Homo-oligomer: A and B are copies of this chain.
Amino acid sequence: MTTEAPRYGYFGPAGTFTQMALDAWEPAAGREQVPYASVEAALEAVRAGAVDAAMVPIENSVEGGVSATLDALASGGALLVVGEVLVPVAFVLAARQGVPAARVRAVGTHSHAWAQVRGWMAAHLPDATYVPTLSTAAAAAGLAEDGDEPAYEAAVCAPVAAANHGLHVLAEDIGDNRGAVTRFVLVARPGRLPERTGADKTTLVLYQREDHAGGLLELLEQFAVRGINLSRLESRPTKDSMGSYCFSIDIEGHVLDERVGEALVGLKRVCEDVRFLGSYPAAHGAATKVSRHTSDESFAQARAWLQGLRHG
């Protein structure tokens, strides 16, 4: 980080849920915000130093992992997650002023958003066709700007995007899963780790050795034997061949926790590669439950005992 005021990138344009996540990140209040057209572009801007950190979506409670983010973090120059934000996802159906629902024949939105409102559409606008756009905010922008013959009559977007573009809200909260939440992470260049809070997460990518049979079971045992819980596991193709996977994993705990450190040493030994993507405070804030057999004190006592055995 420079001594200048930090600059924040995000997967834009303005009016996306990602910007809402950045707005919810307190240290970014009042700082310069730079939208990027893709997750890759936002992360590349971090790597290049154009911004100091970037907010990107990583996981959605309905759609699952965001592949573009998982893959962009798993390859290329090293980056670290330094924080996470959870944003409730509430979609609206928005149209130009004066356009009623009855006149909607096509609907524009991002494919992830479309997947989350499909039930509502089938019930209320069964004949509407779908027009993909680059983001939900782009759908709203396109509708506002697209001249006399827009490609679609309504957009599915965040309420703020509808407001930004002077659109009229035809229906609110149209997501098929009312409690839908998207998880965003703030990504920075490697540097000082966020401090331990006792309610932390660590994000890893594990690459298996090709010549290794046990596979995922063996990797999970490295966590289990140290009493570490996983909060997310996703397999991602390594792009080498069909059936060759790596695993994107979130665990409960901080790399400075003894149990996490020992598990990382174990994984580093048995994996082809381990990519450490950061330790940071969990958004839920609930302290990780640690058994007395896996606490730092337990490790310290056991190590002291071992030193005594070894050196008399």
Contacts and interface: CB of A to CB of B under 8 A. Distances in A.
Interface of A: 40, 59-65, 67-68, 86, 111, 115, 118, 130, 132-134, 151, 177, 179-181, 183, 190-193, 215-217, 220-222, 224-226, 229-237, 239-245, 255-256, 261-262, 264-266, 268-270, 276, 293-294, 298-299, 301-303, 305-306, 309-310, 312
Contacts of A265: 262, 299, 302-303, 305-306
Contact of A64 (B236, B269, B301): B236
A233 to B, nearest CB: 5
B235 A233 contact: yes
Nearest to A218: B225
Contacts of A133: 132
Contact of A269 (B151, B244, B302): B302
Contacts of A217: 217, 220-221, 224
A230 B255 contact: no
Given A234-B235, A312-B192, A179 B241 contact: yes
B255 A309 contact: yes
Q: How many copies does the complex hold?
A: 4
Contact of A132 (B134, B181, B220, B269): B134
Contacts of A236: 64
22 contacts: A60-B237, A61-B243, A62-B237, A63-B67, A64-B236, A179-B241, A191-B312, A193-B312, A215-B229, A217-B221, A220-B220, A221-B224, A221-B225, A225-B225, A232-B245, A234-B234, A255-B306, A261-B306, A262-B265, A264-B306, A268-B306, A269-B294
Contacts of A68: 115
Given A220-B217, A264-B306, A242 B67 contact: no
A136 to B, nearest CB: 12
Contacts of A239: 61-62, 177, 180
Nearest 5 interchain pairs by C-beta: A268-B302, A132-B132, A265-B302, A61-B242, A217-B220
Contacts of A190: 312
Nearest to A311: B193
A309 B276 contact: yes
Contacts of A222: 225
A62 B240 CA distance: 8
Given A151-B151, A255-B310, 20 more contacts: A61-B243, A62-B239, A64-B67, A64-B235, A111-B132, A132-B134, A216-B230, A221-B221, A221-B224, A232-B235, A255-B309, A256-B310, A264-B302, A264-B309, A265-B303, A265-B305, A265-B306, A266-B302, A268-B301, A270-B293
B225 A220 contact: no
